[in-house]
């Protein structure tokens, strides 16, 4: 016997080692179960809880239930763990089942039992069940249990039932600082900031959480001044206080003030602080600074989390920084970060926006679970890359998987049809949105349909759709028709549409530019000059073309007329060689869109130095093999499109350009858009 007892700790240690693995298979679970059930000395709360956790991670909740039934004397603690784990694992239909089995085993529920059940009711929006549990709590004599009463207060607050929350709060026999904080949080969530502040002022005792509740309350209302006043008065600032204030500044767009606070924190920062600043830079479209912040985070040996990776991938997606995105993906794999639907969707989004739809598909198919956001991303990505039929196939597969499409799904689907010229398919899915799928078409769906019809040359149908829309058309809808008019050279309709656009957005320079381009294409230079004069009088300016390219993990930006790049002279000289080579192979610059009535040589120079041409030249100089990937802020012009097709053929390189609307994959003198963009 003594020998056996001496060996027990080592057996327990070995079992614990297996249970602490991220995932164990059924056979291993069975082996562990057999040892625990046959050796009463191993039936400790710690080992049982770890075993149940392993069952939950392996999605073997039924197996865990069976295990509890076979324990000699399962405690309320064991059943509470099972209820808690079923809630955390997303098993909405099961947590109350475990409560029922607990009662069948004659195990009396305690405060922790009901606390877990209330959390489950909130998580799975089972409000009526939560109200019934409230009755059980009162019936079983937990009226004076401050922990449970606060749990009820939190339940009603998260359910949005302010009246019931107030009733629970008012009927509490006594209130501590935690209960008061919970009530402040409820009032804040429901927008009753004055009541929250009054309660805060009356509190006999405040802790750091009390101050943080009020900071968060004001930040949510975008009242940053009041939040800062509370923050400055807070005598017990902790890292949560600093993070809440930094987050408030980030979300209000005051990124520099957020950075000042961040710098003042010194060594008090935690991973949440870093994540907040990185996410703030992404939200404020300071993508390069988000990447620099991550690099600084690594220098200071702060361990990034899945949240960090999601923000960084978003920055890479906007920058078109594929190499950086790949590095982040490798980092995720190397450090065994969990690729759930959120991180998986961020990877899909990054890859397709950086021009690698093939890798986006690999990530998508590799996800064990996909939600509607993952399906939306892959459908949108396929459509943007000109794979309209594949986008439809993905939509049909989504239906088979019983994932309900939403409005975003149809934007991606209809855009895919538009980019691929699938007119009949687009009409079909648009007509089925309400009747078949229960999705009300919004302004963005009408915009997609106008774009689809206009691109295909059905200008009258597109105009009729706009005039019969149940909602007022916006500038995006009219802009889609205007682009189609320009493609099909319908000057008369272009003038009508532009007048509508100028009424909606008189200060948008793009509207004047579009109309000027139409006039220029038919040599109506007097009208071009009138447009330019109107732009000057109203103080509107054309958005300058900007293109970026990633080389050796550094993103280089090129703007028309900007000569500040350190290698500009070399780039310019190489671009001259490219232009000469293009001319030798029969390329004639398309200068129809140049606004000035100037001589041909000046027009050719105007289109010659478009930003994407400069970026492509730099890419050919700097990237010796593999695709050249360029991101442009505007739509690719016809001359650049034709020139890039020939450049791809002459240099035997694949060139991928992401413009404002879609991707263009140039290979061997052809583009994936089939000249349909």
109-115-119 Cα angle (round to 5): 130
pLDDT tens, 353-369? Answer: 999 999 999 999 999 89
Task: Please state, in angstroms and as integers, the Cα–Cα distance from residue 520 to each residue in 110, 505, 512, 528, 598, following that order.
Answer: 80, 22, 12, 6, 11
Q: What is the mean pLDDT of residues 287-312?
A: 92
Half-sphere exposure of 606 (CA within 13 A, CB side): 16
Tens digits of residue pLDDT in 591-625:
555 544 434 444 445 556 789 999 999 999 999 99
What pairing do the DSSP bridges indicate for beta strands 554-559 and 670-671? unpaired
Give the angle 94-98-103 at the CA atoms, nearest 5°: 150
Mean pLDDT of 74-99: 74
Residue 642 DSSP code:
H
**Regarding predicted confidence, which is higher, 614 or 158?**
614
Q: Answer for the pair 508, 514: CB distance below 8 angstroms, yes or no.
A: no
H or E, element range at 445: helix 443-455
Q: What angle do CA 316, 319, 324 make, to 5 degrees?
A: 40
Higher pLDDT, 365 or 14: 365
Given pLDDT bands bounded at 50, 70 and 90, which one contains residue 5? very low
Q: Which pLDDT belongs to residue 566?
A: 92
- 444's CB contacts (< 8 A; 6+ apart) are 407, 411, 476
Beta-bridged to residue 655, according to DSSP, are 628, 666
d(CA 350, CA 323): 11
Lowest model confidence (mean pLDDT) among 199-203, 353-357, 361-365, 463-467 = 199-203
Q: What is the mean pLDDT of residues 580-596?
A: 73
pLDDT for 224:
94
pLDDT of residue 591: 58
More confident residue, 606 or 649: 649
Write out the two tokens for 185. 């949080």
* For the chain, percent of residues with pLDDT exceeding 90: 48
d(CA 321, CA 377): 18
Question: Which residue did the predictor score with more confidence, 261 or 515?
Answer: 261
Cβ neighbours of residue 204 closer than 8 Å, sequence gap 6 or more: none
- What average pLDDT does the segment 274-284 reach? 95
Q: Name the burial class of residue 154, with classes exposed (0-12), middle (13-18) and buried (19+) by CB atoms within 10 angstroms of its CB.
A: buried
Nearest in space to 158 (alpha carbons), one of 196, 128, 185? 185
Give CA 38 to chain center in angstroms: 49
DSSP string computed for 346-358: HHHHHHHHTT-HH
Q: For residue 361, give the 3-state DSSP assignment.
A: helix
Other Cβ atoms less than 10 A from the Cβ of 191: the count is: 13
Q: What was the pLDDT predicted at 604?
A: 47
CA dist 243 → 273, 296, 314 (Å): 6, 18, 21
Mean pLDDT value across residues 487-492: 83
* Residue 409 pLDDT > 70: yes
Report H helices in 554-637: 568-584, 600-608, 611-622
Give the strand order in the sheet containing 554-559.
Answer: 554-559, 546-551, 628-632, 655-658, 663-667, 670-671
Q: Alpha carbon 437 to chain centroid distance?
A: 24
> Residues near 10 by Cβ (< 8 Å), separated by ≥ 6?
none
Q: Which segment of 75-84, 266-275, 417-426, 639-648 scores lowest on mean pLDDT?
A: 75-84
Q: What is the mean pLDDT of residues 90-119?
A: 80
Task: Check residue 11 and give its pLDDT.
Answer: 57
- The residues pairing with 551 across neighbouring beta strands, listed in sequence order, are 554
Per-residue pLDDT at 580 exceeds 50: yes
Mean pLDDT (whole number) for 202-231: 91
pTM of this structure: 0.74
Mean pLDDT, the chain, whole residue set: 85
pLDDT of residue 533: 83
- Which pLDDT score, from 0 to 100, does residue 30 have? 62
Question: Is pLDDT at 170 greater than 50 in this prediction?
Answer: yes
Pick 597 or 228 by higher pLDDT: 228
Strands 670-671 and 663-667: antiparallel
H helices within 140-223, ranges in order? 146-158, 162-170, 177-189, 193-202, 208-220
pLDDT (tens digit per residue) in 24-83: 555 666 666 666 666 655 556 666 666 666 665 655 666 666 676 666 666 777 778 778
| CA pair distance 136, 131, nearest whole angstrom | 9
pLDDT, average across residues 288-313: 92
Q: What is the pLDDT of residue 40?
A: 59
Tokens of 646: 């020939």
d(CA 427, CA 375): 21
Count, in order, helices (H) and strands (E) of the chain.
Answer: 36, 6
Rounded to an integer, what distance in angstroms lies between the CA atom of residue 596 and that of residue 517?
Answer: 10
pLDDT value at residue 38: 60
């Amino acid at each position: 016997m003594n020998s056996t007892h001496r060996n027990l700790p080592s057996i327990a240690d070995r079992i614990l080692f297996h249970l602490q693995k991220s995932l164990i298979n059924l056979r291993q679970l069975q082996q562990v179960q057999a040892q625990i059930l046959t050796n009463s000395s191993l039936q400790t709360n710690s080992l049982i809880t770890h075993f149940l956790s392993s069952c939950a991670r392996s999605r073997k909740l039924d197996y865990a239930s069976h295990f509890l039934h076979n324990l000699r004397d399962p405690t309320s603690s064991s059943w509470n763990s099972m209820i808690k784990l079923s809630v955390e694992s997303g098993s909405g239909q099961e947590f109350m089942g475990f409560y029922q089995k607990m009662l069948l085993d004659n195990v009396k529920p305690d405060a922790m039992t009901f606390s877990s059940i209330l959390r489950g009711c909130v998580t799975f929006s089972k409000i009526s069940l939560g109200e019934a549990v409230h009755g059980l709590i009162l019936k079983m004599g937990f009226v004076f249990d401050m922990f449970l009463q606060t749990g009820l207060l939190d339940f009603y607050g998260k359910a949005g039932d302010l009246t019931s929350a107030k009733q629970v709060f008012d009927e509490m026999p006594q209130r501590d600082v935690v209960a008061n904080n919970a009530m402040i949080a409820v009032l804040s969530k429901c927008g009753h900031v004055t009541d929250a502040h009054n309660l805060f002022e009356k509190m006999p005792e405040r802790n750091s959480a009390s101050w943080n509740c009020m900071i968060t309350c004001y930040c949510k209302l975008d009242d940053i001044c009041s939040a800062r006043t509370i923050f400055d008065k807070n005598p017990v600032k902790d890292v949560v206080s600093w993070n809440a204030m930094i987050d408030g500044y980030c979300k209000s767009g005051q990124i520099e003030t957020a950075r000042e606070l961040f710098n003042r924190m010194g060594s008090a920062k935690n991973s949440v602080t870093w994540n907040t600043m990185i996410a703030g830079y992404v939200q404020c479209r300071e993508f390069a600074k988000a990447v620099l912040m991550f690099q600084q985070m690594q220098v200071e040996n702060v361990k990034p989390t899945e949240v960090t990776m999601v923000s960084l991938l978003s920055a890479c997606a906007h920058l078109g920084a594929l190499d950086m995105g790949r590095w982040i993906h490798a980092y995720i794999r190397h450090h065994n970060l969990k690729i759930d639907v959120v991180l998986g969707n961020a990877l899909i989004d990054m890859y397709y926006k950086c021009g690698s739809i093939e890798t986006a598909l690999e990530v998508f198919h590799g996800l064990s679970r996909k939600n509607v956001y993952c399906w939306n991303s892959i459908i949108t990505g396929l459509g943007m890359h000109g794979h309209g039929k594949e986008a439809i196939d993905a939509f049909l597969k989504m239906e088979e998987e019983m994932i309900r499409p939403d409005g975003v799904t149809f934007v991606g689907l209809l855009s895919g049809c538009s980019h691929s010229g699938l007119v009949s398919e687009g009409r079909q899915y648009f007509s089925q949105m309400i009747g078949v799928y229960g999705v009300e078409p919004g302004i963005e769906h009408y915009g997609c349909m106008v774009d689809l019809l206009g691109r295909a040359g059905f200008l009258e149908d597109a105009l009729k759709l706009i005039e019969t829309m149940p909602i007022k058309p916006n500038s995006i809808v009219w802009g889609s028709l205007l682009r189609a008019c320009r493609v099909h050279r319908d000057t008369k309709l272009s003038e009508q549409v532009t007048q509508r656009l100028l009424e909606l957005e008189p200060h948008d320079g793009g509207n004047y530019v579009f109309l000027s381009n139409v006039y220029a294409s038919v040599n109506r230079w007097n009208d071009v000059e009138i447009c330019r004069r109107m732009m000057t009088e109203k103080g509107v300016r054309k958005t300058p073309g900007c293109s970026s390219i990633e080389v050796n993990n550094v993103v280089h930006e090129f703007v028309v007329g900007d000569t500040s790049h350190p290698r500009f002279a070399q780039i310019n000289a190489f671009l001259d060689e490219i232009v000469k080579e293009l001319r030798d192979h029969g390329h004639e610059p398309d200068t129809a869109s140049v606004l000035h009535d100037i001589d041909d040589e000046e027009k050719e120079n105007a289109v010659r130095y478009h930003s994407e041409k400069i970026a492509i030249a730099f890419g050919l100089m700097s990237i010796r093999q593999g695709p050249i990937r360029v991101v442009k802020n505007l739509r690719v012009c016809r001359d650049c499109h034709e020139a890039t097709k020939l450049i791809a053929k002459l240099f035997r390189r694949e060139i991928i350009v992401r413009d404002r609307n879609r991707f263009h994959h140039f290979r061997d003198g052809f583009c994936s858009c089939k000249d349909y963009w």
